[in-house]
Every structure is written in structure tokens, then in C-alpha cells.
Amino acid sequence: MLYLYNNYTGDVLNFDMAAEMASDAGIRVVTVLIHDDIASAPPEKKELRRGIAGDVLIIKIAGAVAAVSQDLDEIVRVTTKAVENTRSMGMALSAGSLPETGEPTFILADDEIGIGMGVHGEQGVGNQKLMPADAIVEQMMAPILADLPFVSGDEVCLLINNMGATTMMELLIVNRKIRQILSDSGITVYDTVMGAFATTQEMAGFSISLMKLDEELKQYYDMPAASFGCKWTGSRGQS
């Protein structure tokens, strides 16, 4: 059995307990932690990073491998490669709110943005003055590209995640600038996925995820899939 989830303390604690229970029942469990958020720890400590919206791409790959292979070690190998090839970063124009109280999860001034947000509405690594969309994208893309690093000749899947209260028009503006930066860097976009995948109530903002692809990952990415939250029709068809 594969346990695949985002790297958060509470998640790790509970999944570790579940793994112990499964082991007592004679079930072999292997855990792969998703840690794609480059804002939460430096490259030399990437195992401490949080998992954010890049998990959509990683879970898609893992599900495809599991659909065609009964070999747990093979599923773990490919899934681990997908994790290691994925980098993400988020930003917010406004804080999310807690459903129970309606209170914001953190405070942003009207002329501020937050950089490096988590998927549960956590405050990012810092606040700064509001800038035009192109400048924000440039600021986010520079560390994402440098972290793997992504280099000229690479082929990637691009995921632009709506944090919860961002319009499709705004995501398209972000996509235009990302595509320009990738093109200027000699990086080819194999597929683009945009939508509300990892959200927080009322949070306006977005995250950018890049997964570096090879022929093996493309094969699994292109396989059709159907779930409550997302459907892939196959051959780069997502809805």
C-alpha cells in the first residue's frame, strides 16, 4: 500500500499511526511525502518543505502507475520521481477565512500581497507591496526555475492553481506571463492545467507548479482518469 500525501505535521502523525495499524494487520505500507513548496524550506532541506498544489500532478501520476502495475516498489519509484521533479510557489492578494468564525487566517493590508502561502490558508514567508501581475509572476518564477533547476530543453507540465477567489481571467493573465518566461528560457510546456484544486475559503491568489517530464512521466500523465474533483480524458485532456 502506498501512502501519498502532503508534508504537514498533523498529516504525518496520523498517517504514521495508520501505517502502524496496517503493519499490525500484515499490510506492507510505503510512504511518499509531497514537498513541492519551495518557499517553505531551502533546497538543502527540501524534505522539510510543505506539499501544496503540485500534489494534483503527482497524485495523477501515482494513480496511473497503480492502474497498470501491481508492483509497489515500481509505483513508489515513479511516484518519487514525480515528487522530485515538481516545484511550486503560491501568493495571496487576500487572506482566507475560517468557516467556524469568519475570521481571516492572517492579516494583509489593502496594498500588500503575501508570498509563499500554504494550502490550508497559512500565512506565507513574507508580505510585500502589491505589484503588477507580470512582476509578481517574474518574482515567483525565478526561484521555481532555479530550484530544480529547470533548464533549456526541459519539457514541463504547468499547473496554475486558483487559491479560492481568483477569476479565470486573472489566471489567464498569469498564464500569459509564465508562458513567456518559459519560452524565453527554452522550456517547452507539454500541458497547462488551470483551476481551483487546492483552495481556502475567500482567499484570492494563485500558485504556480511545474513538473519536469520525461517519456515515462508523460506516458502516465496522458492516461485517462476519473475522480470526484478532476477528470483526465487522456492525451493531455483535463477538465
Per-residue pLDDT of the chain (239 residues; tens, 9 = 90+): 999 999 999 999 999 999 999 999 999 999 999 999 999 999 999 999 999 999 999 999 999 999 999 999 999 999 999 999 999 999 999 888 888 888 888 888 889 999 988 887 777 788 889 999 999 999 999 999 999 999 999 999 999 999 999 999 999 999 999 999 999 999 999 999 999 999 988 889 999 999 999 999 999 999 998 887 777 776 565 54
Amino acid of residue 208: I
The DSSP code for 189 is E
Q: What is the pLDDT of residue 226?
A: 85
Which residue in 102, 137, 147, 140 sits closest to 121, CA to CA?
A: 102
| CATH code matching the domain that covers 2-84, chosen among 1.10.510.10, 1.20.1440.230, 3.40.50.10440, 3.90.1150.10 | 3.40.50.10440
- Give the phi and the psi of residue 106 in degrees, each rounded to 5: -165, 175
Q: What is the pLDDT of residue 239?
A: 47
- Alpha-carbon distance of 7 to 4, in angstroms, equals 9
Q: What does the angle CA 95 – CA 172 – CA 43 come to, to the nearest 5 degrees?
A: 60
Active site residue ranges = 120
- Alpha-carbon distance of 188 to 178, in angstroms, equals 11
> Cβ–Cβ contacts within 10 Å for residue 97, how many?
17
Could you tell me the residue ranges of all domains in the chain? 2-84, 88-229
Q: What is the pLDDT of residue 140?
A: 97
> Cβ–Cβ contacts within 10 Å for residue 147, how many?
18
The DSSP code for 222 is T
Q: What is the pLDDT of residue 125?
A: 83
Q: What is the pLDDT of residue 94?
A: 86
Q: What is the pLDDT of residue 72?
A: 97
Cβ neighbours of residue 24 under 8 Å, at least 6 residues apart? Answer: none
Question: Each residue of 168-196: b (16+ CB within 10 Å) or e?
Answer: eebbeebbebbeebbeeeebeebbebbbb
CATH code for the part of the protein at 88-229 = 3.30.1180.20
Dihedral of CA 149/151/153/157: which sign?
Answer: positive
137 half-sphere exposure, CB direction, 13 A CA radius: 19
Cβ neighbours of residue 4 under 8 Å, at least 6 residues apart? Answer: 31, 32, 34, 58, 59, 62, 79
Instruction: Supply the pTM of this predicted model.
Output: 0.93
